[in-house]
Amino acid sequence: MGARTNTRQRMLHSAVELLRERGAAGVTIDAVLARSDAPRGSVYHHFPGGRAQIMTESLTLAGDTIGAIIEQAAAQNSVVTLRQFGQFWNTLLEQSDFAAGCPVVSVAVGSSPDDEHLQPSVAAIIQRWHTGLVTAIETDGVEPERARRLATMAIAAVEGAVILCRVNRSTAALDDVIDELEVVFTAALPA
């Protein structure tokens, strides 16, 4: 059972990597098999729903991974949450030689009509991240409406910075965004 589970996990992780690097259109059965080094029969065994099932499960895996990072850091404070979020992306960008972007955003903006069924999942994942940030900011004493706006700004700014990092092959944009968001978050704290 371990080997079968390992093959399934390799396939899912490969699909997440493909989402990060090539977007939703780049996640094909052949690409997942090639990247995971899994035999063709593995698709039908582990993912009887084919590509649609792989897309759904890999999107969930990616969203849960990032959501867990935000939620765990949110238990400390909003600045720690920002720093952890930024560090996650810095590490991923550098380890992938700036080939990896956000797998969730890749589905949000680059999916085909075949992937329309994923849009509610994308919205739920981003809402989860937003809720985690709002919780951290509110825990720091910021009023709810301001916390909501700050969380929206943070997600938009970080996701945009990830794109700039890929284009410029440098984490400087993300570092700048995190530093500036930290100033804004700190200034929002009650006196």
Question: Is residue 163 in some structural domain?
Answer: yes
Asked if residue 34 belongs to a domain, the reply is no
pLDDT tens digits along 47-63: 999 999 999 999 999 99
pLDDT of residue 30: 96
pLDDT band at 5 (very low <50, low <70, confident <90, very high): low
* pLDDT over 80 at 4, yes or no: no
In a domain, 62, yes or no: yes
Total number of domains in the chain? 1
Q: Is residue 3 predicted with pLDDT exceeding 70? A: no
Buried b (16+ CB within 10 A) or exposed e, 85-119: bbebbbebbeeeebebbbbbbbbbeebeeebeebe
Find, among 158, 3, 7, 186, the residue nearest to 92 by Cα: 158
Q: Closest Cα partner for 74 from 170, 185, 176?
A: 185
1 — pLDDT class (breaks 50, 70, 90): very low
Task: Residue 191: name the closest of 142, 119, 133 by CA.
Answer: 142
**Domain coverage including residue 121:** 56-188
Where is average pLDDT lowest: 34-38, 70-74, 113-117, 173-177?
A: 113-117
| Domain presence at residue 114 | yes
Cβ proximity of 10 and 33 under 8 Å: no
Q: Taking 60 as the threshold, does the pLDDT of residue 141 lie above it?
A: yes
pLDDT of 43 higher than 60: yes
The CATH number assigned to the domain holding 110 equals 1.10.357.10
Which pLDDT score is estimated for 115? 87
Mean pLDDT over the full length of the chain: 94
At 44, is the pLDDT very low, low, confident or very high (cuts 50, 70, 90)? confident
Between helix 78-95 and helix 119-139 the angle, nearest 10°, is 140
Residue for token pair 């999916």: 111
Question: 5: Cβ–Cβ under 8 A, 6 or more apart, which residues?
Answer: none
Q: What is the mean pLDDT of residues 11-29?
A: 95
Nearest-5° Cα angle at 173, 170 to 177: 150
pLDDT tens readout for residues 82-140: 999 999 999 999 999 999 999 999 999 987 888 899 999 999 999 999 999 999 999 99
pTM, entire model? 0.91
Query: Residue 90 has which token pair?
Result: 């810095």
